[in-house]
Amino acid sequence: MAKQPMLKFVSVERDMPEKRPPDLRRTDFQEIYAEYADAKAKEQSSRCSQCGVPYCQSHCPLHNNIPDWLRLTAEGRLQEAYEVSQATNTFPEICGRICPQDRLCEGNCVIEQSGHGTVTIGSVEKYITDTAWENGWVQPITPKAERTESVGIIGAGPGGLAAADVLRRAGVQVTIYDRYDRAGGLLTYGIPGFKLEKDVVMRRNDQLAEGGVTFELNCDVGRDISFADIRAKHDAVIIATGVYKTREIQAPGVGGLGVERAIDFLTASNRKSFGDTVEEFESGRLNAEGKRVVVIGGGDTAMDCVRTSIRQGATSVKCLYRRDRTNMPGSQREVANAEEEGVIFEWLSAPKGFVGDPVTGVMVQKMRLGAPDATGRQAPEVIEGADYIEEADLVITALGFEPEDLPTLWNEPDLPVNRWGTVKADYITGATALDGVYAVGDIVRGASLVVWAIKDGRDCAEAILARLGDAAAIAAE
Ligand SMILES: Cc1cc2nc3c(=O)[nH]c(=O)nc-3n(C[C@H](O)[C@H](O)[C@H](O)COP(=O)(O)OP(=O)(O)OC[C@H]3O[C@@H](n4cnc5c(N)ncnc54)[C@H](O)[C@@H]3O)c2cc1C
Ligand code: SF4
């Protein structure tokens, strides 16, 4: 009988792919984890306990068939593992790199709960699809038959791209409109290369274009083309525009030179990685080199800003957050990576204002955690008399994002939005109250995760296909 390749978690220890040493990664924007060697991927996959009720799968937003592709990988059946993995996930190699696995699949792995250390699900998922790309198993879409119906998608982030992939496979004509010059949304211009190298995103954009998806780039809907025109051109429209309005700090000195927004800083840095000329970077405004940098915020965007500043050659990088380490929203894994690279965290510290224009410092208030608020989180309270000035030449604010006012920008007052400005849409199909108009990703959920945008895009595309199918059936009667 063949030897059982699985359930090795008792004898085989958890082992992540090798992490590049901090001194090396401080100097470039390459990803920090190496790829698994084939034998290591097999070995780590064999640790899976093949549970009858896989909690990893139920806590993955895409309900990926994780135990199945782990078993196929352990058995060396990589092409089949790839087929199973890509059946539920449009971009497995991207999720494998940037999902917060500790909060999703890996955080719910049963062997983690039993103290043996989780199966390294994300790293194996990345390995399977990177291998598929290397071996030419990932091919452009070739629909069995072309259909005449067309769908216009506004926004080329993961939500829009995932919807485009499903629709195109069914032969639907798809046009994606995006105001940027490259597709990918925050995968391209938000998330830094040390988490997600840009060629990983670009090859997906190319794959979609080769499969017949039309990209209308440098096209800002509401300015270069009206929303009404897009609706008139297509049988259905998907809004996948993400959230880009920065949540501003209300404090004296905001707006002065050197107090900059996270999205501007990260976009400029990512553009430089593509080799673009970026005026605000060349002028020094959005370049951390030789500067004392202070980043304000405790989420993943703040973590990306501190680590980008280190790589640009800042003389010091500090992160101010008003709660403590345990109560921060960002991933603990990213904080650890940042600390290894030389970032200093000032917990329980909030900005009161900014000194100088150009900025020379941040007025910092020290905080303590008080009684829990309505959400159950301990509310930060000011410690009177403990203020100080933190010297800085560049301050980056990373307090989160809000939706733009789409009904006004697009002159479409009937587009339903809730009081936060996100588009009201059915949580499964993405359908809005406007006939033929759907919405997916961050513009519906508020700032969220790539994997949720992919899930929304796929579900919405399926709903549109069902609707187009029904319409075709009625027309044929
Ligand atoms: C700095 C940063 C780091 C992050 N890190 C992670 C991470 O590690 N892991 C993770 O899972 N998630 C991360 N996220 C969140 C994740 O990137 C988003 O949840 C995800 O990209 C949302 O996808 P989307 O398709 O809804 O929108 P987006 O990716 O924002 O794409 C929207 C697209 O719409 C376009 N657009 C907007 N308005 C218009 C218009 N009027 N006309 C034409 N085009 C328009 C934009 O140009 C953009 O290309 C991060 C976010 C940020 C900001
Ligand atoms: S998509 Fe994300 S949550 Fe799902 S298995 Fe992959 S890494 Fe885990």
Report CA(158)–ligand 1 centroid distance (Å).
7
Ligand nearest to the CA of residue 62, numbered in listed order: 2
Compute the mean pLDDT over every residue in the chain, rounded to the nearest whole number: 94
Q: Look at residue 1 in the predicted model and tell me its pLDDT.
A: 46
Our answer on whether the CB atom of 194 is closer than 6 Å to any ligand 1 atom is no
Q: How far is the CA of 238 from the centre of ligand 1 (A)?
A: 15
pTM: 0.96
Pocket test for ligand 2, best of 55, 88, 90, 95 (most atoms within 8 A of CB): 95
pLDDT of residue 472: 64
- Kindly identify the ligand whose nearest atom is closest to the C-alpha of 161: 1
In ligand 2, which atom is closest to the CA atom of 104? 3
CB atoms within 10 A of CB 150: 17
For the chain, which residues make up each domain, given as ranges? 22-134, 150-244+402-476, 248-399
Question: Which ligand 1 atom lies nearest to the CA of residue 220?
Answer: 42
Q: Which residues face 351 on adjacent strands?
A: 364
Q: What is the pLDDT of residue 3?
A: 63
| Distance in Å, CA 1 to ligand 1 centroid | 50
Task: Give residue 288's pLDDT.
Answer: 98
Strand order in the sheet with 150-154: 214-216, 173-177, 150-154, 236-239, 437-439
The two three-digit tokens of residue 379, written as one number = 């509310």
Give the ligand with the smallest distance to the CA of 163: 1
Å from CA of 157 to ligand 1 middle: 6
pLDDT digits (tens, 9 = 90+) for 17-76: 889 999 999 999 999 998 888 889 999 999 999 998 899 999 999 999 999 999 999 999
Which residue ranges in the chain fall short of pLDDT 50? 1
Q: What is the pLDDT of residue 10?
A: 82
Instruction: Tell me the three-class secondary structure of the chain, residue by residue.
Output: CCCCCCCHHHCCCCCCCCECCHHHHCCCCCCCECCCCHHHHHHHHCCCCCCCCCHHHHHCCCCCCHHHHHHHHHCCCHHHHHHHHHHHCCCHHHHHHHCCHHHCCHHHCHHHHCCCCCCCHHHHHHHHHHHHHHCCCCCCCCCCCCCCCEEEEECCCHHHHHHHHHHHHCCCEEEEECCCCCCCCHHHHCCCCCCCCHHHHHHHHHHHHHCCCEEECCCCECCCECHHHHHHHCCEEEECCCCCEECCCCCCCCCCCCEEEHHHHHHHHHHHHCCCCCHHHHCCCCCCCCCEEEEECCCHHHHHHHHHHHHHCCCEEEEECCCCHHHCCCCHHHHHHHHHCCCEEECCEEEEEEECCCCCEEEEEEEEEEEECCCCCEEEEECCCCCEEEECCEEEECCCEECCCHHHHCCCCCCCECCCCCECCCCCCCECCCCCEEECCHHHHCCCCHHHHHHHHHHHHHHHHHHHHHHHHHHHC
CATH superfamily, domain at 22-134? Alpha-helical ferredoxin (1.10.1060.10)
What is the whole-number distance in angstroms between the Cα of residue 293 and the centre of ligand 2? 33
Q: Which CATH superfamily is domain 248-399 in?
A: FAD/NAD(P)-binding domain (3.50.50.60)
150-244+402-476 CATH pick, 3.40.50.300, 3.40.1010.10, 3.50.50.60, 3.30.70.20: 3.50.50.60
Strand partners, 260: 396
Domains 22-134 and 150-244+402-476 share a fold: no
Q: Are the C-beta atoms of residues 45 and 124 closer than 8 Å to each other?
A: yes
Q: Does the CA dihedral 50-52-58-59 come out positive or negative?
A: negative
